Structure 1
Amino acid sequence: MAKRLLVMGAGGHGRAVADLAAECGWTVAGFTDRVTGASILGRDEDLTALAAAGAMDAAVVGVGNAALDRRAALFQLLKASGIVVATLVHPRAVLSRSCRLGEGVVVFAGGVLGSSVEVGDNAVVYSGVIAEHDCRIGAHAYLSPGVVLCGGVTIEAGAFLGARATVLPNLTVGKEAEVAAGAVVISDVPAGEMVMGVPARPRGGR
């Protein structure tokens, strides 16, 4: 019998995570969210009560890039509640045998994680992401579809990379920094900064 998974967040990303979970052999028990609706078992604050009632065997964060700070908070809530946090890897993702994943990581179809790549807790690796050898992806980081990380790149905790952003080898994208869709990063991005363009520059910069 398939194990039951609770997805925290019922928006677009949450539904994508639910589909991923089904591909990984889970039965999706339902969602928590701030609103009510079909398949929503309760609010996020009801997590402990749902666990006590035996509503699920594990849970995963399903909030997307519209609320990155909430993603981290929900993960901490899961850990504090003692609930098993699922890690989901699509069957059509390609992971090196030396790759290491933290708790709550989700890797969608077509993701490629190379030799000695490390992915921190609760990070998102969307469809078609390529992270080559020795990359370090921090906790709660969010890599949108088609992101390319060349070898030795460090993505620090909570950073966001938009669709098809590219980071050249051995660079660092700092904590909670943002890289816009399509940007090409050729130098380190400081913590909290947003960069865009080719080559990537701070927003409003030249």
Structure 2
Amino acid sequence: MHQENKIYLASKSPRRRELLHQVGIEFDLLLLRDAAPRGPDVTEIVLPGELPYDYVSRVTQEKAAMAWKVMQMRKLLPRPILAADTTVVLDQQILGKPANRDEAIHMLTQLAGKTHQVLTSLAVQHAHGLEAITQTSEVSFAPLTDAQIHAYCLTTEPYDKAGGYGIQGVAARFISHIDGSYSGIMGLPLFETCKVLRQSGIFIP
């Protein structure tokens, strides 16, 4: 891939990096602030009455737009910027990243024996505008015992992931069925990502 086909990735997710490497997309990281004295560059607070689909789309597009401003402020070489956000939804309720073991146990207890949705929104900001898409997958969990949930929550896996689980990890043994994009559930739907990058001027064979 030629240098001009490189992008910036505005995401700290190691899974998104792995997925881009998997399909041969070259990138440099362009990370936004999470906290710092002035607060995060993009807050991920759900607005009153905001539906999950609208929420994940808005946050992702705000991340892409903010990263574009950061690129310009730092006088970096202009390239398309990819941002993404993943939200787990059960009965129209957004399940974020659990802050502690009790929250993780509660989330897994809610998901057990039910089907939920995983929404991954991606946005590419480039010189001529913004391309964005949100992909939805359905994930069905088998019924789980308290012992299974507690054992899983003793691992490190639930705590940096929306919904408190990672499909690419130990939690795969809980999942009876998926309908949609496996990579989207991981955090970046690759078919849609390649489509949007092509629309943004990136050459992908």
TM-score by length of 2: 0.30
Q: Higher helix proportion, which one?
A: 2
Higher relative contact order (CA closer than 8 Å, sequence separation 6+): 2
